[in-house]
Structure 1
Amino acid sequence: MRIHHLNCGCMCPVGGALFDGFSRGLTAHLVCHCLLIETNQELVLIDTGFGLRDVQTPYSRLSPFFVHFNNIQFERKYTAVEQIKQLGFSPQDIRHIILTHLDFDHAGGLEDFPEATVHVMQSEMAAARARRGFIASRRYRPHQWDEVKQWQYYGAGGEPWFGFEAVRDLDKLPPEILLIPLVGHTPGHAGVAINTAEGWLLHAGDAYFYRQEMDPANPRCTPGLRAYQWMMDVDRPARLLNQQRLRRLSLDHRNDVQLFCSHDAVELEAFVDH
C-alpha cells in the first residue's frame, strides 16, 4: 500500500500560538489531516475534510458559529477532490471512505465521491442523526452526507489491537486497515490503524488535538485547544482515558506504531516531509 498525507482544510482561529503553539501572528494554523491509501485494487480515503460544496456555499452547509469560531479558510485547493486530482486520480477512483467521525470538518467532502462506500461506527451515525443539544446540532451537518448512497456501519468488538478494541475485516477493505474505537470526543469516534511495510500508522482523529498531549513524560496542551476539546467532548472521562492509553501506546510501542491527530500542522508537516 502507498499512503499519501493530505491537508483537506485550513482553520485559523484567533489566538495564534495559544492554539497551535507556533504561530507568531494573531491567528493560528490548524489543518485537516486526511489520508489517501492506494491498495492493490482501489483507493481509500480516511476522512474528507471540507468539500467543494462547503467552499462554494459555506453558510448553507455549515454552522455560522463554527465558521467564525474556527475562522475556516474556504479555498478549493484544500478540498480532497482537488488534491486527489493533482495526484493524477479521479474522484470516481475513490471506492471507500473511512471516517473517524461525522463532524463537519471531517465529513464535508463525502458527496464529492459519489461512488464511494462510507464506513463509520454505528454509534456515531446514531448521534449524528439525533443531533441533540447546541453543539451536536452544529457539529453534525446532514447536508454534507444526505446524498451518500452506500453506508457500512460497525460496532465495537473483535480481536484487540495493542490492548485497544478493534473492528477488523471492514467490508471489502484490506485486512491491514482497522477501526479503533476511541470514544469521548463524540459517541462513535474512532481511530484508523493501517499496517504498512514500515509498521503501524494510527490516525487518531480528534482523540487529541496537540502533539505534546502525547508526550508521556510531560503531556500538555495549548489553552485554546484544551478549551476547544472541553467544548466539544461528549464524555470527558472517556476522552481523557483514551488520551492516557494513547500516550502509553506511543511509549511502549514507539518502534511499532506512529500516531497522529487530525489538526496538528506540525505533525502533518513531519509526515509530508518524510
Structure 2
Amino acid sequence: MEQLHDATGFDAYGAIAKRKDAAPSKTKVNVKQIRSNIVGKPADSRIVRHLMTALAVLSVLGGVNAMAAQPVANPSGSAPDIRLYTLDCGLTEFKDADVFSDTGEYEGKPLALPTPCYLIQHGQQWLLWDTGLSDKIAAQPNGVLEKFGGRFTVKRTLAAQLAQLKLKPSDVHYVGLSHLHFDHAGNIALFPTSTFLVAAAEVTAAHAKPTPFGIDLAQIAPLAKAKVTAVDEDYDVFGDGTVKMLKTPGHTRGHRSLIVKLPKSGILLITGDLYHTRQNYEKGLVPHLNDRADTLASMERFAKIKTNTNARVIIQHAPEDFAAMPAFPKYLD
C-alpha cells in the first residue's frame, strides 16, 4: 500500500513519518489508542509501524495528545483578511554578547535585543508566532529577571496585549514556536486550548540530558498536555500558502522561520533566531551554541527564498527591525 505524506511529515493515517532526527523511545505502545486510526482500512504492518513511531515521538511530550490535522484552504474561495501585529514580549540584555558569534565580533560588548511575538489574523483564525518571555517576569521587582547570563525584562504582558484586541488566549487557534528557548517559549502555559506547531526534533532535543542551554523545562512542560502538531518539514499553517513555517535548523535542531504573504505589504520573512542582529544577517555570523554546518545551510536556503520571493526580511531580535514595524495595536496587512 502506498503511504501518502504531506509537508508536515504526517502520513495518510495521521501518523508522523519516521525521521532520522526522531529519538528512539522506550515508551510502551497502547494498541487500543491506535486501533481507531486503522478501523475500516486494509491491514498493513507498515501502517502500524508508522503509528507506533508517531506514539514514540509524542511520548517525549509526556503522553499521546491530540494531533491537529493539516488545515484546508478557505472553502469559500474568497481571500481571507490577513493582518500581522508586532507585540512587545520583552527585552533581553547581555553585558557580554560574545555568545552571538563564534568569530569574536561581540566579545566583551553589551547587546540589547527586543523579544517580539507576532500575532497573525487569518480571517476568523489567529496564529501567535512565539510566546516571548514569561508574563510572570512582569511581577518581579522592576519586571526584571536575571538568568542564563542575561537580564530579561517584561514591562507589558502578552495577555494584556491580547486583551487590547479583545482577545483571550483561548481565541488563539495556533501557536507556532520557532524553537523552545526561554525567550520564545515563556508563555506556553497561557494557551491550553491552542494547537502548538513545533518540530518533534526540537522537543526531543530540549529534553536531552543534561538540559541544553536556554531551555527551561518548567516552561515547556505544558506541551505534554497540549494539542501538538509535529512540523518536521515546512508547514502551511492555514492551507492556502499565506503563512508557512520554514525548516531552518542550526540554532537548535528543530528551529523554524516564518514566511507571511500579506495582500498589501507583500511577503515577509521572519527569521526566528536564524539571525539575532542585522550584523549577523549581513555578515553571516554564527553563534557559539549553533551547529555551524546546519546554520550555514539554513542561511543559504533563507537567502535563496528571499531572492526568489523578493521578501522583506524581519530579523526577529534586531532593534532596527522591531522599531520599523507598526507600533501595536497598528498592524501590517
Which TM-score applies when normalising by structure 1? 0.74
Aligned to 1:43: 126
Unaligned residue ranges in structure 1 (runs of 5+): 20-25, 157-165
How far apart in 1 are the matches of 2:117 and 2:94?
Answer: 20
How far apart in 1 are the matches of 2:96 and 2:232?
Answer: 38
Closer, same or farther in 2 for the Cα pair 1:55/1:145, shift >3 Å?
Answer: farther
- Checking the alignment, whether the CA contact within 8 Å between 2:260 and 2:268 is kept in structure 1 is yes
| Cα RMSD (Å) | 2.8
Closer, same or farther in 2 for the Cα pair 1:113/1:204, shift >3 Å?
Answer: same
How far apart in 2 are the matches of 1:207 and 1:271?
Answer: 19
The 5-angstrom pairing of residues 1-274 of structure 1 reads 1-15=82-96, 28-56=111-139, 65-66=147-148, 69-73=149-153, 75-77=154-156, 79-130=157-208, 132-133=209-210, 136=212, 138-148=213-223, 149-156=226-233, 166-168=234-236, 170=237, 175-197=241-263, 198-215=265-282, 219=283, 229-230=287-288, 232-233=289-290, 235-250=291-306, 252-253=307-308, 256-272=310-326
How far apart in 2 are the matches of 1:249 and 1:181?
Answer: 12
How far apart in 2 are the matches of 1:220 and 1:243?
Answer: 8
How far apart in 2 are the matches of 1:51 and 1:116?
Answer: 17
How far apart in 2 are the matches of 1:167 and 1:42?
Answer: 16
Closer, same or farther in 2 for the Cα pair 1:94/1:76, shift >3 Å?
Answer: farther
User: In proportion to residue count, which structure has more helix?
Assistant: 1
How far apart in 2 are the matches of 1:12 and 1:245?
Answer: 29
- Checking the alignment, whether the CA contact within 8 Å between 2:232 and 2:254 is kept in structure 1 is no
- Match of 1:71, SS state, is strand
Percent identity between the aligned chains?
25
- Match of 2:222, SS state, is coil
- Checking the alignment, whether the CA contact within 8 Å between 1:123 and 1:187 is kept in structure 2 is yes
Closer, same or farther in 2 for the Cα pair 1:143/1:46, shift >3 Å?
Answer: same
How far apart in 1 are the matches of 2:240 and 2:228?
Answer: 17
Aligned to 1:22: none
Alignment coverage as a number of residue pairs? 232
How far apart in 1 are the matches of 2:241 and 2:116?
Answer: 23
Displacement over 6 Å in runs of 4+: none
Displacement of 1:124 in angstroms is: 0.6
Displacement of 1:120 in angstroms is: 0.5
Closer, same or farther in 2 for the Cα pair 1:178/1:220, shift >3 Å?
Answer: closer
Closer, same or farther in 2 for the Cα pair 1:72/1:29, shift >3 Å?
Answer: same
How far apart in 1 are the matches of 2:304 and 2:126?
Answer: 32
Q: Please list the CA deviations of residues 210-268 of structure 1 after superposition, one character each: whole Å capped at 9, or x if unmatched.
A: 113333xxx266xxxx6xx21x21x1111123224434544x34x73112222111111
How far apart in 2 are the matches of 1:46 and 1:30?
Answer: 17
AA aligned opposite 1:71: R
- Checking the alignment, whether the CA contact within 8 Å between 2:138 and 2:155 is kept in structure 1 is yes
